[in-house]
């Protein structure tokens, strides 16, 4: 299995960071053919999603996240910034890992799909993402 670790800088506010080109570059660099791409973020307060980016989708997703996981004092987990406990419930909605089929060296994403890091945590602007390719 081929592997790469990348460092991702995120803003100090909830955000989606596009990883699609980093994933495509990794696949080119390892001369991928057919197989599986694995994307994993080893953090308790971030997730990996397939989502349409642009055209207001980011704002809609983050607004929905605020509705589902409000950043207030209801959370038992209370260290960090106000409402940080909500960040620790994120894996309920956005897994820390994702697998994408690869055919002829390209991710089989749909026309409007992108791979993104979902990071609602304002306390941690530096994230690590692991990319893996397993030929099949």
- Give 38-77 pLDDT, tens digit per residue: 999 999 999 999 999 998 999 999 999 999 999 998 999 8
Tokens coding 119: 């990071």
* Per-residue pLDDT at 120: 94
pTM for this entry = 0.95
Residue 3 has pLDDT above 90, yes or no: yes
- pLDDT above 70 covers what percent of the chain? 100
**Distance from the Cα of residue 99 to its chain's centroid:** 12
Cα dihedral 69, 124, 39, 67 in deg (nearest 10): 10
In this prediction, residue 83 carries a pLDDT of 86
| Separation between Cα atoms, residue 114 and residue 116, nearest integer Å | 6
78 has pLDDT over 90? no
Domain that holds residue 90: 2-135
Q: Identify the bridge partners of residue 119 per DSSP, sorted by sequence position.
A: 15
Q: What is the mean pLDDT of residues 119-136?
A: 95
Number of domains in the chain: 1
Q: What CATH number does residue 88 fall under? A: 2.60.120.460
């Amino acid at each position: 299995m081929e592997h790469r670790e990348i460092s991702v800088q995120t803003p100090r506010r909830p955000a989606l960071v596009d990883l699609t080109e980093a994933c495509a570059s990794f696949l080119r660099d390892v001369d991928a053919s057919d197989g599986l791409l694995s994307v994993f973020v080893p953090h308790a307060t971030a997730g990996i999603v397939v989502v349409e980016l642009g055209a207001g989708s980011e704002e809609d997703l983050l607004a929905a996240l605020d509705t589902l996981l409000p950043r207030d004092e209801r959370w038992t987990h209370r260290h960090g910034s106000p409402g940080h406990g909500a960040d620790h419930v994120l894996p309920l909605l956005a897994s820390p890992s994702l697998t994408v089929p690869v055919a002829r060296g390209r991710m089989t994403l749909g026309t409007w799909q992108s791979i993104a890091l979902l990071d609602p945590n304002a306390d941690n602007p530096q994230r690590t993402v692991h990319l893996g390719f397993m030929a099949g």
